[in-house]
Structure 1
Amino acid sequence: MPTAPRPQPLSGGRALRLSRATAFWLLGVTQLTFMAASSAPSPLYSEYARRWGLPATALTVVFAVYALALLVSLLVVGGLSDHLGRRPVLTVALVGEAAAMAVMLTAGGVDQLIAGRIIQGLATGAATGAISAGMIDLQHPGSKLGPLLNSAGAAGGMALGALAGGVLTQYAPSPHTVIFALLTAASLALAAAALLIPETSPLRPGTLASLQPRVSVPHPDRKAFLIAVPPFVASWAIGGLYFSLGSSLTADILHTGNHLVAGLVVALLPGAAALACIVLRGMAPLPMMLSGSAALVVGTLVTLPALLLPSTALLLGATVIAGFGFGTAFFGAFRMLAHTAAHEQRAQLFSAVYVVCYLANSIPAIAAGLVIPTAGLRDTAIGYVSAVTVLALLSIPFGISALRRTKAAAADSPLPATAPLLEAADTRP
């Protein structure tokens, strides 16, 4: 079926602008930086707990307020770039990210840390729709490189942030200063570069109306969106466990206080996800989504004995398998939606996607934090992983059943959402 026309850059007079290809890759780097900043504090959490005497519950709150603030931002300004343009929304979001890093740089207690994470979540939420839609706008017509970078870049950024955070926490003389100073500088540099991105989304009426908090999926995309929800939830829920309690679980299971080891364990999940997205990028969306769900089932099942024994080898192996499932389930579902989205509704649709993802990322983590004082860290993690296993398992027949219903409904009146489900990828820039 025909794809949406490629948006052309709007006239900017004689102002200096980047080429489409350069702007595309700049958005990819920006996506990676936002995600690296989201995970970089994870290896620091156990250090904060030691320094400030924080319980595990407080660590899940520090993690979850970021995801919830991001969710609020998505609900309010997630589709704003469809009305004001990609460039101004992204530039302001990057300045906000720099402010968040500065707050955490100077944090002297958990209250300031939470405040910084809230600002960071708001900035990341504002940027998410603009980045995702901007990459689709700028990519080659029919290409799947935009969805690939959205998925692999997000996962790769989280892996890079966790790994760098672990290295700096273990070896830097003042790790929180170094980490947040670097991220502040990077955010400001990217904000300046964002001013040079060619605008692909014209000013449209309805800006104030778009700020009303709501989750809305465009009607033509709803069938595909429903198919994608279970793998979105399962994959991001397991991510919530690793990024909120990964360093604490590592210390408990591996009996080590080495922050580099904690960073490595946390980084394995998104690292494997990013690698899976790249290696399997030519796979058709629906088979990729279903195979990812199956890998999540296997990975979480192997995690259970790793926590019970405990076993370092099983934990590392389970993390890699679960990461593979995380990447392929999310990427396959994202590609399926990206193919069908109309240009003027892309930010709206992608914001709805990330609302689902970050709810799955934060709510289970908050629940885990509330249960830990009663059940203990390990038993809470076992219950958490068991729930994700069930959800990932259910997503497989749900996806197959939904696809059959969609195909049956499309037999007499073909729907745009059904066409790309079995279409192989083209990753030309």
Structure 2
Amino acid sequence: MSSCPAVAPVAVRPRARLSHPVAFTAVAVIFVLFMAASSVPSPLYVVYQQEWGFSSMTLTAVFAVYVLGLIVSLLVVGALSDHIGRRPVLAAAIVGEAVSLVLFLVAGDVSALFAARVVQGVATGAAMSVLGATLVDLNPPHAPGRAGVISSVAPTSGLALGALGCGALVQFAPAPTHLVYALLLAGMVVALLLTAGLPETSARRPGALASLTPRLGVPARLRPDLFALLPILLSSWALGGLYLSLGPSVAAGLFGLTNHLVGGLVVTLLCGTGALTSLALRTAPVGMVLQAGAVLLAAGLGASLAGVLTDTVTLAVAGTLVSGVGFGASALASFGTLARLAAPGERGELFAVVYVIAYLAFSVPAVIAGFAATSAGLRSTAIVYGFAVAGLAVIAVIAQSVRAARR
């Protein structure tokens, strides 16, 4: 009998993973991409209104369902990545975002727009907490504050890029309600490929199903710091909600600036300035940045309100730029503080809580303002909203002064 030659075992190479520095950069890029996608509909709302003939109240409802989906997602899956790993949750979020972009592409009426925004909100909520936690996991040891900087820069820069890019495409490119979503869909495909190469940074541990029960849990040792940050979180994100929901409408309705690129610039002036501020102040003492952020938010809002009251565009723009500096400083110091304090097993849930607070402040006042604008008028609504947020900013100044004095 002939014998078969022995076959040497073939070594199976483990799937190649991105190095930690490259993975950190990839996660930051994906974060920016998600936030850009979330702000893209803002300059398009005016186009949708013209094409489909719906009211400002309907527009506000479209804005509201996005935030509702986002908050529910944060509450349900915010801590899931602490149990099953970061990569599976992020991959699922990217797939969900891609589905929402396809819905935007085929949308032909308001009902399709509602469906797209709900799915987008769920996907964005799932992504935000896991992206924030992954950045902290991959943070370079030689730069302990870098994850906090990126966690504050990525949302603001993404919002700015999405609004500005969409405004430019709507004004100058063909198929304004389709091209931008096709480009974002291609970006999500790339993001999914990058996610497949990320190293897993969170070990599996039991309790995944239990973690899906909606709850807001913050470890007792972190609560004093979170409570001290509440006024600045509320004022800065409420300001962001004002600009993303009503900003383009205020520019067109009160100042007569109907160019779609200008509508995108309204959001970019606030968020882009915020992103640049976060980068510029990344090495400054956190206490000083928090205090300065609160003061600049209040001062910028005061100038913007004066511009609205006097119909002075330059004053409103100057106020927006000052508010943007305060917005960026507030985000930098808030997320930087929490990123340094949270332990690895606490990060997913803690970032979920912070984003729930932020998006409640971002959405609830904006939704109320949208309904009020229908009955009371855009000018009166913008003025009352501005004064309310300025009041919160003043409270934030006082809170940070008291916190600094106690320390």
TM-score normalised by the chain length of structure 1: 0.90
Shift of 1:13: 6.8
Q: Which moved more, 1:192-201 or 1:60-69?
A: 60-69
Tell me if structure 1 keeps the 8 A contact 2:235–2:361: yes
* Corresponding residue number in structure 2 for 1:311: 312
Shift in Å at residue 148 of structure 1?
0.8
Q: Deviations over 1:260-284 (max 9, x none)?
A: 1111112111000001001111111
Preserved contact between residue 129 and residue 348 of structure 2 (Cα < 8 Å): yes
Instruction: Check the 8 A contact 1:372/1:380 in 2, yes or no.
Output: yes
Measured after TM superposition, the shift of residue 378 of structure 1 is 0.9
Name the structure 2 match of 1:298. 299
Find the counterpart in structure 2 of residue 263 from structure 1.
264
Comparing 330-339 and 140-149, the one that deviates more: 140-149
> Which residue number in structure 1 is paired with residue 255 of structure 2?
254
TM-superposition CA deviations, 1:214-266 (whole Å, max 9, x none): 11111121111011111111000011011111111110122132101111112
Give the C-alpha shift of residue 64 in structure 1. 2.1
Structure 1: how far apart are the matches of 2:337 and 2:283? 13
Superposition map of 1:176-187 within 5 A: 176-187=177-188
Deviation of the 1:140 alpha carbon:
1.4
- For residues 375 and 157 of structure 1, the distance between their equivalents in structure 2, rounded to whole angstroms, comes to 32
Q: Shift in Å at residue 403 of structure 1?
A: 4.4
Superposed CA RMSD in Å reads 1.3
Matching of residues 1-400 of structure 1 within 5 Å? 14-141=14-141, 143-400=144-401
Q: CA deviation at 1:139?
A: 1.1
> Would you say how many aligned residue pairs link Structure 1 and Structure 2?
395
* 1:123 shift after superposition: 0.5
Deviation at 1:400, TM superposition (A): 2.5
The 3 A distance-change label for structure 1 pair 368 and 34 is same
Structure 1 letter corresponding to 2:218: V
How far, CA to CA, are the matches of 1:394 and 1:362 in structure 2?
Answer: 20
Which segments of structure 1 move beyond 4 Å, counting only runs of 4 or more? none
Q: Deviations over 1:175-198 (max 9, x none)?
A: 111011111111122012101100
CA distance in 2, matches of 1:404, 1:85: 41
Tell me if structure 2 keeps the 8 A contact 1:269–1:323.
yes
Larger Rg: 2
- For 1:252, the aligned partner's letter is G
Return 120-129 or 142-151, whichever deviates more: 142-151
Contact 2:80 2:211 in 1 (8 A): yes
Preserved contact between residue 286 and residue 333 of structure 1 (Cα < 8 Å): no
User: In structure 1, how many angstroms separate the alpha carbons of the residues matched to 2:400 and 2:13?
Assistant: 48
The amino acid of 2:380's aligned partner reads D
1:5 equivalent in structure 2: none
The whole-number CA distance in structure 1 between the counterparts of 2:132 and 2:378 is 36
% of aligned pairs identical?
44
Matches of 2:45 and 2:109, distance apart in 1: 12
Q: TM-score, normalised by structure 2?
A: 0.95
**Contact (CA 8 Å) 1:68, 1:358: kept in 2 or not?**
no
Aligned-pair distance for 1:337?
A: 1.2
Which consecutive residues of structure 1, in runs of 5 or more, have no partner in the other structure?
Answer: 1-11, 408-429
Gaps of 5+ in 2: 1-11
Residues 88 and 195, structure 1, Cα contact 8 Å, conserved in 2: no
Counterpart of 1:427? Answer: none
Letter in 2 for 1:363: V
Distance in 1 (CA, whole Å) between partners of 2:402 and 2:306 is: 31
Q: Do the aligned partners of residues 44 and 22 (structure 1) sit closer, same or farther apart at CA in structure 2, a change above 3 Å counting? A: same
Q: How far has the Cα of 1:17 moved from its partner?
A: 0.6
